[in-house]
Amino acid sequence: MKYALLNGKKITAQPNLMATCLCCGAEVKSYCGEINQYHWRHLNKKQCDLWYENETEWHRDWKNYFDSSYQEVVKHDSKTGEKHIADIYNPKKEVVIELQHSPIKPNEIRAREQFYNRMIWVIDLIGVDKNLSFINDKFNLEYQLTKMRQNPTEKIEVPDSFAISEIEKEMNALSSILRLPDKDENMDYLRALEDEYKKLCKLPNHYLMLWKYRHKYWEASSKHKFIDIGTNTLYELVARVQFGNAYIVKAHDKNKFIVHYQ
Ligand SMILES: [Zn+2]
């Protein structure tokens, strides 16, 4: 944890300090090594909040955008006595922001969403963003066809846009010259994407995001989810395409997002 209580004050870890846990009130000790960020750990080594994720630099960077009073805020259910440490809580908006770096079980997603109720997720996909493709441009037919000519057996994974009838015409014309064994499969995929695209991608700032090896557990979530890929844009998952690994996403300016919740 970044914070603990000492003399009634919420403080960060400094070398050789003892304090009490914000959540359970047990004794915590400061850990101030050279590699890990300064942090507090329970003396008995057991984290009291099982939802608490080991902090990465990414967590710290996000927390630091907000006032210390908004960071690591203990929320409790007065009926059940259950307590958890929210990564960020904005009391004016009464919204919790949960920062998620590691894989998470669907049950835990549901439990956290039920507990916090008014909450959003920010999901760390930095480093795995190579598995993401964002599509918003007009279809570059020439490019796509050149690729197909060069390697006719390669499955189309990332269509550049959705002028499907155009591609189909071209592909039929080419089929006598080229051998396209996956042609039907590719066309089914493109048609399904085109349908979704027509529905949603015409909205401003909306993109189709292809997510190779997508994290299926996020389908258990019913709250707003924003993907951080380490750029100035956060991508909100708006809807999952019922075909393949694609999502409709909405791009948000990261700075504006942060200012909004500060
Ligand atoms: Zn504790």
- How many domains, in total, are found in the chain? 3
- 76 assigned to some structural domain: yes
Based on the domain organization, do 18 and 89 belong to the same domain?
A: no
The rounded Å distance from CA 158 to ligand 1 centre is: 46
Based on the domain organization, do 140 and 104 belong to the same domain?
A: no
Coil vs helix vs strand at 180: coil
Based on the domain organization, do 245 and 143 belong to the same domain?
A: yes
Q: Are 27 and 43 in contact (CB under 8 A)?
A: yes
Residues spanned by the domain of 85: 50-108
- 22 assigned to some structural domain: yes
The rounded Å distance from CA 116 to ligand 1 centre is: 18
Mean pLDDT of the chain: 80
Lowest average pLDDT, out of 41-50, 91-100, 198-207, goes to: 198-207
Burial class from Cβ neighbours inside 10 Å (0-12, 13-18, 19+) for residue 114 reads exposed
Instruction: Mark which of 60, 77, 108 sits at the end of a domain.
Output: 108
The reported pLDDT for the residue numbered 181 is 47
- 115 assigned to some structural domain: no
The reported pLDDT for the residue numbered 139 is 38
Based on the domain organization, do 184 and 251 belong to the same domain?
A: yes
Using 50, 70 and 90 to split pLDDT, how confident is the model at 94? Answer: very high
- Tokens 């080229």 correspond to 178
The rounded Å distance from CA 20 to ligand 1 centre is: 8
Based on the domain organization, do 138 and 37 belong to the same domain?
A: no
Using 50, 70 and 90 to split pLDDT, how confident is the model at 193? Answer: low
Tens digit of each residue's pLDDT (9 = 90 or more) over 125-142? 998 888 887 765 433 433
How far is the C-alpha of 217 from the C-alpha of 221, rounded, in Å?
8
The rounded Å distance from CA 19 to ligand 1 centre is: 11
- 114 assigned to some structural domain: no
The reported pLDDT for the residue numbered 116 is 96
The rounded Å distance from CA 42 to ligand 1 centre is: 6
The rounded Å distance from CA 45 to ligand 1 centre is: 10
CB atoms within 10 A of CB 14: 11
Based on the domain organization, do 39 and 88 belong to the same domain?
A: no
Instruction: Mark which of 59, 80, 108 sits at the end of a domain.
Output: 108
How far is the C-alpha of 7 from the C-alpha of 19, rounded, in Å?
8
The rounded Å distance from CA 50 to ligand 1 centre is: 10
The rounded Å distance from CA 10 to ligand 1 centre is: 14
Q: What is the pTM (predicted TM-score) of this model?
A: 0.77
When pLDDT is averaged across residues 83-98 and rounded to a whole number, the result is 96
Based on the domain organization, do 225 and 136 belong to the same domain?
A: yes
Based on the domain organization, do 40 and 54 belong to the same domain?
A: no
